[in-house]
């Protein structure tokens, strides 16, 4: 474990440079999301009359990379959020100044990596389009909005952000491991894929709870190091995700199962 800790730790990290970068370079996420949405639309048109690419090896390697990255991020951030939740009032865990708690050092470094990783994570959709798999609204909407929100949250260094980061790392650790094994043809048939969807639904429920209560503390006039517009946007985003994932679960695991019976 000490070897792993040494590989993952970055005790000298300070967030000020990246915060300034994200605040002064909004053209990057806007360009990324515009290019992404254009690719989603025109990519499907381009592939309409063409054979799908065989990208199983590339897909397995890409998902393996994201799985390892997510496992590492969860390993660093989850123990911290659990310790804070157990030892501090909930208000403190979502409102205390990040510079005084988790923004610097190893945890802060992995929070920063999480926020910026949402741009390269858009590559997920490239595989879907080039392999001519169904590109559903939930997929591209989720990728686009998470990327924009992650950039916004880090530019303001939202105090509640550690909850979002730890949850997302954890869910993605399981999800991308499953995708990697599936792409490599190694996924056990007994593994219930609905567990991933259930974990995503729970993530959205908790995310909504965190945003709403953070918003509540801020409206009471309490000192809370979050951007109010970011918390409102975050709550609306998580509510929409919750509804979409519940609908996805019903369509895939309830209605589809009844049709096959």
The pLDDT of residue 7: 80
Residue boundaries of the structural domains of the chain = 21-186
The pLDDT of residue 253: 85
- Tens of pLDDT, residues 25-82: 999 999 999 999 999 999 999 999 999 999 999 999 999 999 999 999 999 999 999 9
Mean pLDDT confidence for 171-185: 95
Catalytic residue among 142, 143, 152, 172: 142
In the predicted structure, residue 87 carries a pLDDT above the cut 60: yes
Distance between CA atoms of residues 141 and 174, nearest Å = 21
- Tens of pLDDT, residues 224-248: 999 989 999 999 999 999 999 999 9
Q: Is 142 a catalytic residue?
A: yes
The pLDDT of residue 119: 98
Q: Comparing 150 with 256, which gets the higher pLDDT?
A: 150
Split at pLDDT 50, 70, 90, the class of 147 is very high
The pLDDT of residue 6: 81
The DSSP letter of residue 11 is: T
The pLDDT of residue 259: 57
In the predicted structure, residue 261 carries a pLDDT above the cut 70: no
pTM: predicted TM-score of the whole model, two decimal places: 0.94
Do residues 135 and 40 make contact, with C-beta atoms less than 8 angstroms apart? yes
Split at pLDDT 50, 70, 90, the class of 257 is low
List Cβ<8 Å contacts ≥24 apart for 191-200.
194/249, 194/252, 194/253, 196/171, 197/245, 197/248, 197/249, 197/252, 197/253, 198/249, 199/170, 199/171, 199/174, 199/175, 200/171, 200/175, 200/241, 200/245
Phi, psi of 134 (to 5 degrees): -60, 125
Split at pLDDT 50, 70, 90, the class of 260 is low
Point out the least confidently predicted range of 4-8, 47-51, 193-197.
Answer: 4-8
Q: Comparing 58 with 190, which gets the higher pLDDT?
A: 58
* CA distances (Å), origin 260, targets 90, 140, 197, 198: 46, 28, 20, 22
């Amino acid at each position: 474990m000490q070897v792993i800790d040494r590989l993952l730790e970055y005790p000298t990290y300070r967030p000020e440079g990246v915060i300034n970068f994200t605040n002064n370079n909004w053209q990057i996420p806007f360009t990324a999301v515009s290019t992404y949405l254009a690719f989603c639309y025109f990519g499907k048109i381009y592939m309409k009359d063409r054979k799908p690419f065989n990208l199983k090896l590339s897909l397995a390697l890409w998902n393996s990379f994201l799985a390892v990255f997510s496992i590492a991020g969860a390993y660093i951030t989850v123990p911290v959020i659990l310790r804070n939740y157990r030892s501090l009032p909930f208000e403190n865990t979502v409102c205390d100044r990040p510079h005084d708690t988790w923004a610097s050092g190893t945890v802060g470094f992995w929070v920063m990596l999480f926020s910026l990783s949402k741009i390269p994570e858009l590559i997920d959709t490239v595989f879907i389009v080039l392999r001519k798999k169904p590109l559903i609204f939930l997929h591209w909407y989720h990728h686009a909005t998470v990327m924009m929100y992650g950039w916004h949250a880090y530019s303001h260094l939202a105090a509640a952000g550690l909850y979002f980061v730890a949850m997302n790392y954890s869910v993605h650790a399981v999800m991308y491991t499953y995708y990697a094994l599936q792409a490599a043809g190694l996924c056990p048939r007994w593994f219930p894929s609905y567990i991933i969807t259930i974990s995503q639904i729970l993530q959205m429920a908790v995310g909504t709870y965190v945003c709403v209560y953070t918003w509540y503390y801020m409206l009471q006039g309490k000192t809370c190091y979050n951007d109010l517009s970011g918390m409102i946007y975050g709550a609306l985003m998580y509510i929409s995700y919750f509804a979409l994932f519940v609908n996805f679960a019903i369509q895939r695991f309830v209605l589809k199962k009844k049709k096959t019976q």
